[in-house]
Every structure is written in structure tokens, then in C-alpha cells.
Structure 1
């Protein structure tokens, strides 16, 4: 079966984020499976980068109606009402993927969220990227975990892992980079008391954001300058090389992450992920990493000490990463999406 799929992604390349990356992976994979894909987005791209599928940017009303008339099915990678509303008239089958929470930052349901929930009722089927999102937002959703760029994120054997910990993410308070710094400080203070088997105590922070100045001050106050390094934002091969130099990924998010693509990316580069237990992070890490109590620095420290002093545990987790990552290959995830999409088209729901 070949379908004309109208793929809606509110944001897209060159914008940076998990949804943007997933949109590219899925749209490309749908095309590889033989479908005709048109992607609509509000994101502008001065470079006019070409993709394996059609990308229509910043569409006007005429273009929106033209594309909806062309489509046999509408796929929204997260609710995209400003791009999707013409389907009220065309009534094409639709599938909506939930990539994040339908709520305000404080967890309350606002007016916009109520509109999105009403919109979801029109969908032929709803997909959630984690069980946490399914439970909170749409209990009848099908859970399909996110893919990662398996052609890009990989182990480079010739690179030696000379560094210990890496944090990857936007430097905002909810991401918990300060908890990573404080945990490292505790490890240094405890290294003789609990006989921590580690040559170097290092933390690399990859990313940028409004909390950067506060993190610099924290490092100075804790006298951690020799141990913590900021790289700024990294992407592409530079990011892959940096991850390959590290042993552990720390994801101490205070916010309940909807999923956590960085877990898969770092795991694919050979890092062992240690993540907070909120939201979709347990889904992302599976049985191939370690979880600690969200917001609890002592729990993070004890989890780190446990794996550092237990080489067999670290080895078992590295082995578990191989089948775990295979489940997130783009072609496997896309096949699950297309199964839902084709069933929706055939009106089997």
C-alpha cells in the first residue's frame, strides 16, 4: 500500500529539539517504505536544505487547503491545530502522536490543552511516545517509543574513554545540571571513605541556556573548576566524538521528561545512562541503564557509587544496550507507526 501522507510538524529543521529530530527520522523512513510524504511546518530555513520528501514551510491558507486536499491521511507529530484545522472540512483519516504532556508547565490543564484534548477525539488513533504520556494524557493511546539516528550515533572504537561523566541538554533549571555538579562534589568528598574505584572525577556539560551563569557560580563556590568543563552546544560528529570519550551519561532531570532522546543517543555512543525515574526516562533507558529518585542527589550519588564499584553490573548493562537500541532503530519504529497509519486509513479502528 502506498499512501499520500500529509505530515504536520509545528517546528522542524533548522530548529533543534526532540520533536524536530523525530519528524525528520519518521518522514524519511515513511518515504523509504514507499509512501509519498509532504511535510508542513512553520519553521523557516534560509539555507533551503533538501530532504528525501517534500517540505512546505510557513504555508498560507490556500496552501493548507491544497495539501489537505492532496492527502489520503494526515499525520500530526504532536497536535498541530494551526496546520491541521482544514481537515475539519476534508475529514481525512488522521493519526496524532503525542510527544509531550498536554498541560501547562505546572501540570494544570489550560484552555489550549482542552482544545487539544477535544482535537484528539477526532483522531482515528493516537500514539504516545512513552507509557507515562499515555497514562496521563490519553489512556487508549498506542505506545511507540522514539527512534534515534542510528546511522549517526555509534561507538567509535579508536576513541578512548578518558572521561567519566557527561551531561547533555539545555541549561535550564528543570534539567538538573546543578544536581550533576553537586553529585560530583559528593563523590570527590566520599572517594576515600567508600573506596570509589575511579581515576579521574570529571564532568563535561554539553549545552547552553539561561542557567549557565548560575552553574558557573556554583562551580566556583564548590571549588569545582578543575573537574567541570563546558563545551557549549555540540551536534553532528562533534557530539558523537565527545560522547565516545565518556563513560556515564547523567540525566538528573527535575522535570518529568516525556521521553528522553539523549539517553538513546549517548547509549549508542557507549555511555551508560544514569537517569531520574520520572516521566518517560524509564522507558528510554529500559534495562540498559540505572534509575535514581528524581530530585534526590543522595540517591544519584549512591547509584553512581554502586555501578562504579561493580564492574560486572556495568558490563551487564552494556550488553543489555545492544538489543535495547535495536528496538529504537528508525526502520523498526517507523514500521510500527505505519502499521497504525495503514490501519487508520483502512478504517479498522
Structure 2
């Protein structure tokens, strides 16, 4: 079976979509079972330049910056086309070729002109203006981009949504996202992470807290700093590691000084994967205070696998990811976040039972093995090779 994956963003870029596509393509290329299943021939098509990335080291073919003719040829030769997001032109061409198309939604492009579900003027989670028909609010939301650009984003949302309603399947990483998109033929497949040595660190402590992500307004780091200030005022000891970089770093560093948190907060900048585990050594709590609704939350799932307790904003898919193993608070509510931090800081020093429950959930729900098996079952169904139930739970080796 020939599977073509189209992704707008791919390695060497770094991000959630890039991570998920790499994991999915690698897992599909390495699929084997003992029942004579047809091997999977995987190709990834992307406009992302190669740079210094070594494509030859991957177990699948990568086609970068293809022409329109190359796109058509690759799509024509595929048995199933997987789109990592509802990219308008690839989606249109694939449907015109009458190919089985699955769209995996990594954002809100099918219901929101800017794809973020963030109402920019208020910097809050959008209540769903586009789907409610409040289109003037959509234009006002994106006004900073200019009237023409705002108008084009709004107009393209209509045909993009219309096309998504005609694909073979719409995949979402959380059931929460499915309730928002309201598209036909939806199925939830949680993102998965590659297995690694996830043994708990005996030195991890709830008093060591971390944030990992881009330093931009939608991530809510300013809310975390306000919450940290409240916790410090109560005399509780903690250290907060801010891991990541972005345009808001200087503003957040100034806020840290203004709140008298310089002795508690460390800005560590961007850390590559090879160093991130070392940087997180000893951390017992991870905080994701996102203002916009996160579609999934790879950072949460990854650190849950390490036995790190999650505290997340309740808006979006994050609450679904952490389940009952984490603490949640209303987006933007610094006082409620401070309460969650205080509760975590008052746990026993090692908090081993809580960490074990967190890790068990992640290892059950968010493995690469499960993600690949569920995608492959869907592809085979559309390619006419197998019904979904024919893919055994232990098919990946």
C-alpha cells in the first residue's frame, strides 16, 4: 500500500506537527506483522526546504518543494493521501483525483480563519465566532494583518470547510476538537510518542516546576508568573524553569523583575531534544497555561511519560490529555493556577504514587505504537485491504 503524507511543515523545522508527522511516517515505514500484511510504502511531501537535514537517514522518501506537476503525479500514484492539516490546494487536487483522503486536524483551520481559535483583540479563547455566523468579529480579530489579508483568510475558510466535509475521514487528536469541528466521518486518534527510557527520576521534586514552549502571548507565561508571585507571597519554596524562546522573552523577563521573582525564575532559552531531558532533570511539575485552546498538548504527554505531574489550562484538549492525573484551571486565571501550584507544592517530596499514575496513563494512551496501528487500520479500510479490526494490538515491532 502506498501512503502519501503531505505536511506544510517538516524537519528541520521544530514543532508539534513536525514531530507527529515524523513519528507517524517512521512508524508506518517500519510496520511488520506475522500475517502477511502488505508492506507500507511511505512518502512525505512538503514545501519545507531541506537545509542541512539528512533525508537519506530516514526510512521513507521525502519530496521537498515539489512543483504542481510533481504533486499531481505523487497523488495519482498513492493509494491513500494523508494531509497533516487541511491545506487548501493539496486538498482540492487530491479530491479532484478521486483519491481516498484523510485529513488530520492539528489546528482550527476548518472553523477559524486564523486557525488558532484565539480572539486576538482580547487575547482569549474564541467563543466560535465563525461557526456562529458572527463574521464581522472574524474580520475584526485579524485586522492587524490588514483588511485584504483578513478578508482572504475569512473567505478561504468556507471552501476549506466544504472540502473537509468530502474527505474519507477527518482525524482529530482529541474528542474535544471533534466537538468543535463538527465534520462528517470524524475519528479520534491520539498523538503518540516514540518509546524511550522513561524511568522516573528519584530526585524529581514538586518544588521544581517547569514550562516548556514558545514564549508568545498565547502560551500564557505571564499568567504563570503572576501565579508564581502569589505562591511566593505565601512563603512556599519553589524554582520555576522557563524553557523556550520567542518574541515575548524580554517582556517576560521584565515582568519577572517587576514581580520580584528573579530568585525563583530561570529563563533557560531553547533547548534541543538532546539536552531537554537533562534540563528537566529533577523537575516534578510541568505547567501549560495556554490561553488559546491546545488541540492536543505533546509537551504534556511527553512529560507525563517521564512521570512529571501536569498542571494545565482547562480550555482545549489539554484537560483530555491529562485526565484525572493532572490539575486544571480556567485559562488566564492566575489565582486558580496559584492554587494548583500550591496544591502540587504541598505534595510529599517524591510524590511517587501521583507520578506513577501520570506515567501509566501516558504509556497506555499516547504511544507511537498505538497511533501508527490506528492510522494504518484506517488507511487499509479505505484502500480496500483490511477492515480496521484486522490490525492486531501488537502489530508493531
Task: Give the TM-score of the pair, scaled to structure 1.
Answer: 0.90
* CA offsets 1:184-219 (integer angstroms, 9 cap, x no match): 11111112xxxx5xxx42111011111111111111
Contact 1:243–1:269 (8 Å) recurs in 2: no
- Tell me what 2:377 maps to: 339
Correspondence 1:77 to 2:47:
no
Contact 1:243–1:271 (8 Å) recurs in 2: no
* CA offsets 1:37-65 (integer angstroms, 9 cap, x no match): 11100101121412111000000022112
Shift of 1:10: 1.0
- Tell me what 1:329 maps to: 367
Correspondence 1:65 to 2:72:
yes
Correspondence 1:146 to 2:191:
yes
- Tell me what 2:166 maps to: 122
The equivalent position to 2:334 in structure 1, one of 271, 275, 297, is 297
- Tell me what 2:181 maps to: 137
Unaligned runs of 5+ in 1: none
- Tell me what 2:44 maps to: 39
Secondary structure of the 2:325 match is coil
Distance 2:51 2:274 in 1: 23
Contact 1:155–1:244 (8 Å) recurs in 2: no
The equivalent position to 1:25 in structure 2, one of 19, 23, 26, is 23
Shift of 1:312: 10
- Tell me what 2:104 maps to: 97
Report the count of equivalent residues. 339
Distance 2:347 2:306 in 1: 21
Shift of 1:139: 4.9
Correspondence 1:170 to 2:177:
no
Distance 2:371 2:163 in 1: 25
Contact 1:161–1:244 (8 Å) recurs in 2: no
Contact 1:259–1:280 (8 Å) recurs in 2: yes
Task: Give the stretch that moved more between structures: 288-297 or 78-87.
Answer: 78-87
Distance 1:263 1:160, change over 3 A: closer
Secondary structure of the 1:5 match is strand
Distance 1:244 1:165, change over 3 A: same
Secondary structure of the 1:127 match is strand
Distance 2:293 2:96 in 1: 37
Contact 2:206–2:285 (8 Å) recurs in 1: no
Shift of 1:272: 0.7
Distance 2:19 2:355 in 1: 25
Task: Give the stretch that moved more between structures: 270-279 or 99-108.
Answer: 99-108
Contact 1:277–1:291 (8 Å) recurs in 2: yes
Secondary structure of the 1:135 match is helix
- Tell me what 1:256 maps to: 293
Distance 1:222 1:312 in 2: 27
Task: Give the stretch that moved more between structures: 304-313 or 117-126.
Answer: 304-313
Shift of 1:314: 4.3
* CA offsets 1:253-300 (integer angstroms, 9 cap, x no match): 111111111101222233211001011101221222111122111111
- Tell me what 2:63 maps to: 56
Distance 1:228 1:307, change over 3 A: closer
Distance 1:216 1:319 in 2: 34
* CA offsets 1:73-93 (integer angstroms, 9 cap, x no match): 111111123334332332111
- Tell me what 2:274 maps to: 237
Secondary structure of the 2:280 match is helix
Contact 1:4–1:37 (8 Å) recurs in 2: yes
Distance 1:269 1:325 in 2: 9
Contact 2:209–2:286 (8 Å) recurs in 1: yes
- Tell me what 2:141 maps to: none
Distance 1:139 1:94, change over 3 A: closer
Shift of 1:158: 7.5
